[in-house]
C-alpha cells in the first residue's frame, strides 16, 4: 500500500491525475496549495494525492517520471507506506505487496550505503562482537554481531546500480562494500591483539557450496527488497552470516598467524565467489522483478545539469 503525493506547477495537476488513472488507480484527489521557498518567494502548486496498492503505485510513479509533463526541477513527489488502507478496493487488492516502486528500493539502498560515522561505528563494533565470538566459539555472540552488521545492502546496491544503469549508486555500493570489508578485517585484528589463539569457530564451506548458497541468498535478498512483506532483516542476517565471517577470520589470522593446515587461499577464493554470486543473483532478480531506471536517470541527469549551471557555491 502506498500514499503518493505529487506537487506539480499550477495548471498541470490534471495531467498527473490522468497518468494516475491510466496506471489503474481507482480514485485520485487534487487541490491547490501555496509553497514557500527559502528566498521568501511563494508559488501556487497543484497537489495530487493517490492512495492505492503497491504495484499500482509503482506503475504510476514510473509513468509519471517518463511523461512529457514531468520536469524534475519543477515537480516533487513523496511516497509513504501506510499501516492500513481502506479505500475503493477490497483488502485482497489493496494489500498486494509486490512490486515496490523502484524509487523506494533505490533510495532505501542509498541510505544503507551512505558512508557516515554511524555506519563506521556500527560496522566496527558489531564486527568486534563477531570476531570475539569466533575466537571464543560463542554462537550467541556471533549472532549478536551479525544482527547489526549492514553488509548485504552494499551488494544489493551494487547489483541494482548495474540494473538501473545508475552508476553513482553502483560506485556508492562498491565504496560501502570495500569500506565495510576493511572495517571487519580491522575489527578482527583488534580483537586478536587482546585475545589469544586459537580461533574456536572455523566452520567454512567450499567454493561450490558458497556459490550455491550465495546465489540462493542473493535471489531471496532481491525478492525481499522488492516485496512489502519481505523480511529483509532476516534475509540480511543470512547473507551477513554467510560472508562476513571471512574478513573477520582473516583479521584474526593476520595477528595470530596462519597455521600450516589453514586453507587461506581457498577461503579468500570462497569469499570472492560469495560476494560476486550474491551481487549477480540479486541484480538478475531486480531485473526480473522489473526494476526500471529510466525515470531515475532522467531525474539525476536533470539535477546534475542544474547543479553545473549554478556553478560552485
Domain definitions of the chain by residue range: 2-96, 103-294
2-96 and 103-294 have identical folds: no
CATH of domain 2-96: 3.30.70.120
* Mean pLDDT estimate for the chain: 93
- Residue 312: predicted pLDDT: 63
Confidence of residue 108 (pLDDT cuts 50, 70, 90): very high
Give the percent of the chain with pLDDT over 70: 98
Question: Taking every pair of C-alpha atoms in the chain, what is the biggest distance, in angstroms?
Answer: 75
The three cell numbers locating residue 113: 550505503
Give the percent of the chain with pLDDT over 90: 79
Rounded mean pLDDT of 228-248?
82
Q: What's the CA gap between 232 and 239, in Å, rounded?
A: 10
Class of domain 103-294: mainly alpha
Confidence of residue 81 (pLDDT cuts 50, 70, 90): very high
Does position 313 have pLDDT exceeding 60, yes or no? no
The string of pLDDT tens digits covering residues 123-162 is 999 999 999 999 999 999 998 898 888 888 999 999 999 9
Q: What's the CA gap between 123 and 131, in Å, rounded?
A: 12
Does position 205 have pLDDT exceeding 80, yes or no? yes
The three cell numbers locating residue 16: 498527473
DSSP characters for the chain? Answer: -EEEEEEEETT-HHHHHHHHHHTT-S-EEEEEEEEE-TTS-EEEEEEEEEEE-HHHHHHHHHHHHHSSS--TTT-EEEEE--S---SSS-HHHHT--B---HHHHHHHHHHHH---HHHHHHHHHHHHHHHHHHHHT-HHHHHHHHHT---HHHHHHHHHHHHHT-HHHHHHHHHHHHHHHHHHHHHHHHHHHTS-S--S------HHHHHHHHHHHHHHHHHHHTBTT--HHHHHHHHHHHHTHHHHHHHHHHHH---TT--HHHHHHHHHHHHHHHHHHHHHHHHHTT---HHHHHHHHHHHHHHHHH---
Inter-residue contact 256 to 198 (CB < 8 Å): yes
Best-predicted range by mean pLDDT among 170-184, 204-218, 233-247? Answer: 170-184
Amino acid at each position: 500500500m502506498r500514499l503518493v503525493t505529487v506537487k506539480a506547477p499550477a495548471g498541470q495537476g490534471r495531467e498527473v491525475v490522468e497518468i494516475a488513472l491510466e496506471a489503474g488507480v481507482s480514485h485520485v484527489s487534487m487541490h491547490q496549495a501555496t509553497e514557500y521557498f527559502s528566498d521568501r518567494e511563494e508559488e501556487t502548486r497543484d497537489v495530487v494525492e493517490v492512495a492505492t496498492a503497491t504495484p499500482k503505485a509503482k506503475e504510476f510513479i514510473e509513468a509519471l517520471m517518463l511523461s512529457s509533463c514531468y520536469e524534475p526541477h519543477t515537480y516533487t513527489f513523496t511516497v509513504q507506506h501506510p499501516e492500513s488502507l481502506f479505500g475503493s478496493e477490497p483488502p485482497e487488492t489493496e494489500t498486494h505487496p509486490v512490486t515496490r516502486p523502484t524509487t523506494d528500493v533505490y533510495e532505501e539502498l542509498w541510505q544503507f550505503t551512505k558512508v557516515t560515522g554511524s555506519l563506521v561505528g556500527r560496522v566496527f563494533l558489531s564486527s568486534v562482537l563477531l570476531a570475539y565470538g569466533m575466537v571464543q566459539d560463542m554462537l550467541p555472540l556471533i549472532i549478536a554481531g551479525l544482527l547489526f552488521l549492514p553488509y548485504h545492502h552494499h551488494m544489493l546496491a551494487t547489483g541494482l546500480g548495474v540494473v538501473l544503469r545508475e552508476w553513482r549508486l553502483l560506485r556508492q555500493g562498491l565504496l560501502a562494500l570495500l569500506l565495510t570489508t576493511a572495517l571487519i578485517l580491522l575489527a578482527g585484528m583488534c580483537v586478536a591483539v587482546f585475545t589469544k589463539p586459537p580461533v574456536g569457530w572455523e566452520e567454512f564451506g567450499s567454493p561450490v557450496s558458497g556459490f550455491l548458497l550465495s546465489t540462493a541468498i542473493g535471489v531471496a535478498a532481491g525478492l525481499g527488497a522488492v516485496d512489502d512483506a519481505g523480511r529483509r532483516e532476516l534475509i540480511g542476517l543470512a547473507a551477513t552470516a554467510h560472508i562476513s565471517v571471512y574478513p573477520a577470520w582473516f583479521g584474526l589470522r593476520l595477528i595470530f598467524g596462519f597455521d600450516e593446515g589453514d586453507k587461506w587461499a581457498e577461503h579468500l577464493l570462497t569469499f570472492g565467489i560469495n560476494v560476486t554470486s550474491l551481487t549477480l543473483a540479486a541484480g538478475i532478480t531486480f531485473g526480473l522483478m522489473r526494476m526500471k531506471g529510466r525515470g531515475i536517470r532522467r531525474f539525476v541527469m536533470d539535477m546534475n545539469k542544474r547543479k553545473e549551471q549554478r556553478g560552485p557555491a
